A and B are shown apart, each in its own frame.
Chain A
Amino acid sequence: MQLCKLLNTLNIPEYNLYLCLFIFQTEHKMSVEEVCRKYQTDIVQGLTNAKAAEYLIRDGPNALTPPPTTPEWVKFCRQLFGGFSILLWIGAILCFLAYAIQAATEDDPAGDNLYLGIVLTAVVIITGCFSYFQEAKSSKIMESFKNMVPQQALVIREGEKVQINAEEVVAGDLIEVKGGDRIPADIRVVSAHGCKVDNSSLTGESEPQNRSPDCTHDNPLETRNIAFFSTNCVEGTARGIVICTGDRTVMGRIATLTSGLETGKTPIAKEIEHFIHIITGVAVFLGVTFFILAIILGYTWLEAVIFLIGIIVANVPEGLLATVTVCLTLTAKRMAKKNCLVKNLEAVETLGSTSTICSDKTGTLTQNRMTVAHMWFDNQIHEADTTEDQSGASFDKSSVTWLSLSRIAALCNRAQFKAGQDSIAILKRDVAGDASESALLKCIELSCGSVRLMRDKNKKVAEIPFNSTNKYQLSVHETEDPNDNRYLLVMKGAPERILDRCTTILLQGKEQPMDEEMKEAFQNAYMELGGLGERVLGFCHLLLPEDQYPKGFAFDTDDVNFQTDNLCFVGLMSMIDPPRAAVPDAVGKCRSAGIKVIMVTGDHPITAKAIAKGVGIISEGNETVEDIAARLNIPVSQVNPRDAKACVIHGTDLKDLSQDQMDDILRNHTEIVFARTSPQQKLIIVEGCQRQPPNLHTTSQQTIVAVTGDGVNDSPALKKADIGVAMGISGSDVSKQAADMILLDDNFASIVTGVEEGRLIFDNLKKSIAYTLTSNIPEITPFLLFIIVNIPLPLGTITILCIDLGTDMVPAISLAYEAAESDIMKRQPRNPFRDKLVNERLISIAYGQIGMIQALGGFFAYFVIMAENGFLPSRLVGIRLNWDDRGVNDLEDSYGQQWTYEQRKIVEFTCHTAFFVSIVVVQWADVIICKTRRNSVFQQGMKNKILIFGLFEETALAAFLSYCPGMDVALRMYPLKPTWWFCAFPYSFLIFVYDEVRKLLLRRNPGGFGTEKQTITEAQKEKNISLG
């Protein structure tokens, strides 16, 4: 492991690590005796209990160390002190400091600063707790995956078989496994009886592999005498000596390796960080500037500090991070409903910016079950229904040939349904038997009724199972007709072998001699079906003549004593793992969304290509180099590789490719299939994809790559990818742990839904942020004018918090429910370098334009109230010093009336309330204009019910805060005269009209340059917003 780390630091590509993982394992090359000696164990007696206990203490329990988790308190503190919280903490501390100074210098200090400090602290802690609990909630979902039953293992110690907890297994233990068991540790097999293990979770090979005591390969992963921890024993029994336990097992090393792989920040996390930097920068800049300005203008230190607090509070959108969390949570929930379980909230958006998806074939693109796809009989290819719900077309079943064919398929077939599944749909039933036979069984059961009944009627007399030398399977049955004493011989196998044994062919129920013409037809059909990537089987039969094989004839299958040639050929059946129904559509969506779908599979290139064509990964009309060569009848080497958009790359070729060649392939082909790849190569492919520029227009290197995987060996690729997608049904635990997202239904189409949701949430978050940021300007400007022109403060810190954490919250969240403006799956993926969540254009609109109008609306309300109470604007300028002086209780207004401190403060606080209400009023218009970025509201409509609710909610909240008795004491908010509510209406209307006009110009001049000067800058500004 140390060496591995060293290699890692030397920046050697990760796939080399796989090699080094296995360098140290040599047990497979040792003899059994050597292994026994090494672990001081006995081949018959096993370990002694004492020795086992000693080893257990030395090596620790046989379990994977869970990935290091950050302690809860660290997570909590991260929420408490991350992002804007630091700014707010500074604000709170300044408040307490200011209060402390006041308390020390004055007899009767005003409690304002103390209260504000407490409120700020509360705000930080509450939002921190909120985010923490949100995070805890999503991690809890993950924990539910870990609830595994403790595993048992059968060990032999001191000569006795004992069932112990798998965790207590130690190196040197002699253990026994049988079909159905999970291998409890890495074991060196010492004896085996027909033992087969399923290594798919480790190596990706789906075929079960034999295990025997002999060393067959230098590579421990390939050799047959090692069985690996957490793989499954499918059949047979084996006895072995444990050589590694826990983290030292191959699986354990991969898991450790994976946890060591660094995962980059998600795009949205980067975006939010970027955005926090901008806002913090603005806050600190403004705060410090005005602090210095205040000192220069002759304010006291204390006052300057209070201004600083005000500016910080006004600048920080306190509720925004909570809004973002809520929006992401909502989307995550929505995605979970669509079978995408998101482990990490931020991964919700990552999927939206994905520009390449590397997808597994089996199970993800396909249904993961062999199905009969085509049949050839009566010199005609018939298509079977391969859809999951049997909605496809059916074929003509009336032919006599079909009856014969189906009889062969049913009889010459060892597969059978497991018991007790009568109520389940045929296609979903479990079958005991291999994949092809199951496919045949289901096909016949579907089209001809109960196979069991058929088999009962035609009793099996003899059988030769399939073997690799014969390449056929044969059985002899009694006929259905009790009067007919002949025996029926049925045979299936490799088509060419079957054909060799046939002299006649069944056509329309009539036996006809097999002539050259028919052989040609057979060849064509075989080629055609094979070309579709399907596994083809030939079927033939023969009614054995009664005179030679009378009833009771003893068929000897070992030394064949009956006729196995001159048979009658009946037909071909071909099988494939068919694509899932929704996949071609989903791939099409990906294509129009500018997402490259790359298929990575361990299958044969022809099958891979056929499926790729079937689902549209290789689109119609696009050819590979080989296709072009075949079409033009020239050698492959003469074809210009640039002519081919599609390509199928063989895993063995991949091994020899240099990085540049790899880049060249990925860049110049839009449709790529990797066939016969080992899971280890997946990592190379992912890295290759990540190196590519996301699209043709940029040179910046880095693509957001999504990868699906289910095996343990996929986990480094899952971790390396920007978003790893694990399979919920077939996925291994390690892969689920490494992934960011889990597809509960293993269906590729779910990823596409995820992409759609991810893109939508990015758009909507942008809207939410634009909405929330806009109200920052009417929050900051009062402070600035207060300091610069010495007017009474128009908006207080408490009211700012009421906006940020109260009225703005629901409308901002409601924007997450906004429907997509146009077809978001018809545009290119977001360029993470150019299309920022918050860019200068958004800031320009929010701060420079809409925010300014809002501020004017608020100030107008402020001046109206002041003027109607007797303080005309001319009187207000410069009044601040007297206004805020508690000693002045006869301050004169414009009319000559005199005011006490408290009386004018009530007016001031009424102004705060009115300013607050005005912001609510202008935010009505803001939320409506933020709904869309290009479209008019009249095009988009007001279908978002949550948003309508939000409008009413914020208004009701504002009214409540203004009119509820006791608010004057609690928050210093006062009831407003009804007319004051309408002060901001013209401004609200202006915002709406201004933005509608802006969007109209934008739609008229999509290029960005209009004739009017105003439009130019406008449209320029907008161009990228609308793209982003």
Chain B
Amino acid sequence: MAKDGEKNEWKEFIWNPRTREFLGRTASSWGLILLFYLIFYVFLAGLFALTMYVMLQTLDDHKPTWQDRLSTPGMVIRPKADETYEIVYDIQNTETWDMYAQALDRFLAPYNNSVQSQKNDECVPDKYFVQEDSGDVKNNPKRSCQFNRTILEECSGINDRYYGYQEGKPCIIIKMNRVIGMLPGKNGQAPYVTCGAKREDSDKIGELMYFPPNGTFNLMYYPYYGKKAQVNYSQPLVAVKFLNITVNEDVNIECKINANNIPIGSERDKFAGRVSFKLRINTMN
């Protein structure tokens, strides 16, 4: 009895034929509510759009308002193996290193001398390439300096298509994240990259070779003016070639930027001002 009543009550709640109410309201009542919410939400959306518009107006087109989180630029290596920073391959097994070579090919393609000379200027080296705006007149678009692939010499992949992977002397390319307006190095001293083994691996790393020499990022590539103003900016690169690294063992390597005006990043961030990766070359011999 009681259950039947309950059931009917529910049925009536969903659709009450007597009062023509659906879920306790008539169609017109539902309509008014929906209309109200429609108007209300349209109004809110408009208001939100307005505040967003005002906020966007306050932003500079070429430089973000805050850069304090980027005081220590991040560093990244190439080639990049999926998610982890591990480069592991087998000399005898072509397939295992071929993808690295291909990745580097793709990565370096925009640095081909032909492309560079076409898009970018030759600049005066060892000097910041400052292109100030004169007052309100924007000096746009800004020009960029050439970074020719040949600068990387043995690691350019021009002479050695496989970047030394085949011989167990792999090249790793290091780049420093772009930060608008950053002027690394002080007193004309260019920032440079040094790599070393971590912890107990120091005797396994062997000899290294940097391209360009000393692993410097030339000052002429700074400052960066942002992708809007400086469309063809070529990020400078440093290549490290491992000449006689111990094979068949994990070697943990950390490369870091050396510049007297770049603060050492926080302990937590493993990629600010430094980059770590693992290199393991397997061979049968």
Chain A residues in contact with chain B, CB under 8 A? 848-849, 852-853, 856, 859-860, 863-864, 867-870, 872-873, 885-887, 889-890, 892-903, 906-907, 977, 986, 990, 1013-1014, 1016-1018, 1020-1021
* Chain B window 64-76, contacts with chain A (Cβ cutoff 8 Å), 1 for yes, 0 for no: 1111011001111
Tell me the smallest distance from the CB of B75 to a CB of chain A, in Å.
Answer: 8
- Other-chain residue from A903, A986, A1018 in contact with B269 (beta carbon distance below 8 A): A903
List 21 contacting pairs A-B, 8 Å CB cutoff, sorted by A.
A849-B40, A856-B48, A869-B66, A885-B83, A889-B177, A890-B177, A895-B64, A896-B224, A897-B64, A897-B180, A897-B224, A898-B76, A898-B177, A899-B70, A899-B74, A900-B269, A902-B272, A986-B51, A1014-B36, A1014-B40, A1021-B33
Tell me the smallest distance from the CB of A977 to a CB of chain B, in Å.
Answer: 7
B36 touches A902 (CB 8 A): no
Counting CB contacts under 8 A, is B129 at the interface?
Answer: no
B228 touches A887 (CB 8 A): no
Give the residues in chain A near B64, CB-CB below 8 Å: 868-870, 893-895, 897
Q: Which residue of chain A lies nearest to B65 when distances are taken between CB atoms in the complex?
A: A868
- Other-chain residue from A848, A889, A895, A977 in contact with B63 (beta carbon distance below 8 A): A895
Report the separation of the CA atoms of residues A892 and B227 in the bound assembly, to the nearest whole angstrom.
Answer: 10
B41 touches A860 (CB 8 A): no
A860 touches B55 (CB 8 A): yes
Interface size class of B (residues with CB under 8 A): 35 or more
- Other-chain residue from A869, A898, A1014 in contact with B74 (beta carbon distance below 8 A): A898
Give the residues in chain A near B52, CB-CB below 8 Å: 860, 863, 873
Tell me the smallest distance from the CB of B54 to a CB of chain A, in Å.
Answer: 10
Give the residues in chain B near A872, CB-CB below 8 Å: 56, 59
Give the residues in chain A near B35, CB-CB below 8 Å: 1013, 1017
B271 touches A990 (CB 8 A): no
Q: Which residue of chain B lies nearest to A852 when distances are taken between CB atoms in the complex?
A: B44
B177 touches A863 (CB 8 A): no
Report the separation of the CA atoms of residues A849 and B41 in the bound assembly, to the nearest whole angstrom.
Answer: 9
Report the separation of the CA atoms of residues A1013 and B40 in the bound assembly, to the nearest whole angstrom.
Answer: 12
Given contacts A860-B52, A977-B66, A1014-B39, contact A896 B178 (CB under 8 A): yes
B178 touches A1017 (CB 8 A): no
Give the residues in chain B near A889, CB-CB below 8 Å: 74-76, 177, 271, 275
Give the residues in chain A near B51, CB-CB below 8 Å: 860, 986
Tell me the smallest distance from the CB of A968 to a CB of chain B, in Å.
Answer: 9
Tell me the smallest distance from the CB of A739 to a CB of chain B, in Å.
Answer: 31
Q: Which of B4-41 contact A (CB under 8 A)?
A: 29, 32-33, 35-37, 39-41
Give the residues in chain B near A896, CB-CB below 8 Å: 178, 180, 224, 226-228, 230, 233
Give the residues in chain A near B70, CB-CB below 8 Å: 897, 899, 903
Tell me the smallest distance from the CB of B22 to a CB of chain A, in Å.
Answer: 14
Max chain B C-beta neighbours (<10 A), residue from A864, A887, A898, A1013 = A898
Give 19 A-B pairs besides A895-B227, A900-B272 with Cβ atoms closer than 8 angstroms. A856-B44, A856-B48, A859-B48, A863-B52, A867-B56, A868-B59, A869-B65, A872-B56, A893-B64, A897-B64, A897-B226, A900-B177, A901-B269, A903-B269, A903-B272, A986-B51, A990-B47, A1013-B32, A1014-B36
Give the residues in chain B near A859, CB-CB below 8 Å: 48
B55 touches A902 (CB 8 A): no
Q: How many A-B residue pairs lie within 8 Å, measured between CB atoms?
A: 129
Report the separation of the CA atoms of residues A900 and B77 in the bound assembly, to the nearest whole angstrom.
Answer: 12
Tell me the smallest distance from the CB of B123 to a CB of chain A, in Å.
Answer: 19
Report the separation of the CA atoms of residues A351 and B148 in the bound assembly, to the nearest whole angstrom.
Answer: 86
* Chain B window 260-277, contacts with chain A (Cβ cutoff 8 Å), 1 for yes, 0 for no: 000000101111100100
B270 touches A902 (CB 8 A): yes
Give the residues in chain B near A868, CB-CB below 8 Å: 59, 64-66
Give the residues in chain A near B56, CB-CB below 8 Å: 867, 872
Counting CB contacts under 8 A, is B80 at the interface?
Answer: yes
Give the residues in chain B near A1020, CB-CB below 8 Å: 29, 32
Give the residues in chain B near A899, CB-CB below 8 Å: 69-70, 74, 177
Tell me the smallest distance from the CB of A699 to a CB of chain B, in Å.
Answer: 13
Q: Which of B214-244 contact A (CB under 8 A)?
A: 224, 226-228, 230, 233
Report the separation of the CA atoms of residues A867 and B58 in the bound assembly, to the nearest whole angstrom.
Answer: 10
Give the residues in chain A near B37, CB-CB below 8 Å: 848
Report the separation of the CA atoms of residues A864 and B59 in the bound assembly, to the nearest whole angstrom.
Answer: 10
Tell me the smallest distance from the CB of A604 to a CB of chain B, in Å.
Answer: 44
B69 touches A906 (CB 8 A): yes
A1017 touches B32 (CB 8 A): yes
Tell me the smallest distance from the CB of A850 to a CB of chain B, in Å.
Answer: 11
Closest 6 CB pairs of A and B: A896-B227, A900-B74, A898-B177, A902-B269, A870-B64, A868-B65
Give the residues in chain A near B33, CB-CB below 8 Å: 1017, 1021
Counting CB contacts under 8 A, is B82 at the interface?
Answer: yes
A1017 touches B271 (CB 8 A): no
B228 touches A895 (CB 8 A): yes
- Other-chain residue from B36, B39, B62, B85 in contact with A895 (beta carbon distance below 8 A): B62
* Chain B window 157-177, contacts with chain A (Cβ cutoff 8 Å), 1 for yes, 0 for no: 000000000000000000101
Give the residues in chain B near A892, CB-CB below 8 Å: 178, 227
- Other-chain residue from B32, B47, B224, B233 in contact with A1016 (beta carbon distance below 8 A): B32
Tell me the smallest distance from the CB of A966 to a CB of chain B, in Å.
Answer: 13
Counting CB contacts under 8 A, is B179 at the interface?
Answer: yes
Tell me the smallest distance from the CB of B174 to a CB of chain A, in Å.
Answer: 11
Give the residues in chain B near A853, CB-CB below 8 Å: 44
B48 touches A902 (CB 8 A): no
Tell me the smallest distance from the CB of A323 to a CB of chain B, in Å.
Answer: 28
Report the separation of the CA atoms of residues A864 and B54 in the bound assembly, to the nearest whole angstrom.
Answer: 10
Report the separation of the CA atoms of residues A1018 and B36 in the bound assembly, to the nearest whole angstrom.
Answer: 8
Counting CB contacts under 8 A, is B84 at the interface?
Answer: yes
Tell me the smallest distance from the CB of A26 to a CB of chain B, in Å.
Answer: 42
Report the separation of the CA atoms of residues A849 and B226 in the bound assembly, to the nearest whole angstrom.
Answer: 41
Given contacts A900-B74, A902-B266, A902-B270, contact A895 B47 (CB under 8 A): no
Tell me the smallest distance from the CB of B276 to a CB of chain A, in Å.
Answer: 11
Give the residues in chain B near A848, CB-CB below 8 Å: 37
Q: Which residue of chain A lies nearest to B77 when distances are taken between CB atoms in the complex?
A: A889
Report the separation of the CA atoms of residues A896 and B223 in the bound assembly, to the nearest whole angstrom.
Answer: 13
Give the residues in chain B near A867, CB-CB below 8 Å: 55-56, 59, 65
- Other-chain residue from A887, A890, A900, A990 in contact with B83 (beta carbon distance below 8 A): A887
Report the separation of the CA atoms of residues A887 and B271 in the bound assembly, to the nearest whole angstrom.
Answer: 10
Give the residues in chain B near A897, CB-CB below 8 Å: 64, 67, 70, 177-180, 224, 226
Given contacts A863-B52, A869-B69, contact A898 B83 (CB under 8 A): no
A890 touches B69 (CB 8 A): no
Report the separation of the CA atoms of residues A902 and B80 in the bound assembly, to the nearest whole angstrom.
Answer: 18
Q: Which residue of chain B lies nearest to A1015 when distances are taken between CB atoms in the complex?
A: B36
Give the residues in chain B near A886, CB-CB below 8 Å: 83
Report the separation of the CA atoms of residues A1020 and B33 in the bound assembly, to the nearest whole angstrom.
Answer: 10
A895 touches B271 (CB 8 A): no
Report the separation of the CA atoms of residues A803 and B233 in the bound assembly, to the nearest whole angstrom.
Answer: 45
B48 touches A860 (CB 8 A): yes
Q: Which residue of chain B lies nearest to A903 when distances are taken between CB atoms in the complex?
A: B69
Report the separation of the CA atoms of residues A892 and B40 in the bound assembly, to the nearest whole angstrom.
Answer: 37
Q: Which residue of chain A lies nearest to B23 when distances are taken between CB atoms in the complex?
A: A840
Report the separation of the CA atoms of residues A863 and B58 in the bound assembly, to the nearest whole angstrom.
Answer: 13
Report the separation of the CA atoms of residues A902 and B69 in the bound assembly, to the nearest whole angstrom.
Answer: 10
Report the separation of the CA atoms of residues A986 and B63 in the bound assembly, to the nearest whole angstrom.
Answer: 26
Report the separation of the CA atoms of residues A860 and B52 in the bound assembly, to the nearest whole angstrom.
Answer: 7
Q: Which of B183-236 contact A (CB under 8 A)?
A: 224, 226-228, 230, 233
Max chain A C-beta neighbours (<10 A), residue from B66, B82, B270 = B66
A901 touches B40 (CB 8 A): no
Give the residues in chain A near B233, CB-CB below 8 Å: 896
Report the separation of the CA atoms of residues A155 and B56 in the bound assembly, to the nearest whole angstrom.
Answer: 96
Give the residues in chain A near B268, CB-CB below 8 Å: 902
A907 touches B40 (CB 8 A): no
- Other-chain residue from A890, A895, A906, A990 in contact with B226 (beta carbon distance below 8 A): A895
Q: Which of B82-118 contact A (CB under 8 A)?
A: 82-85
Report the separation of the CA atoms of residues A873 and B59 in the bound assembly, to the nearest whole angstrom.
Answer: 12
Q: Which residue of chain B lies nearest to A1021 when distances are taken between CB atoms in the complex?
A: B33
A887 touches B84 (CB 8 A): yes
B271 touches A900 (CB 8 A): yes
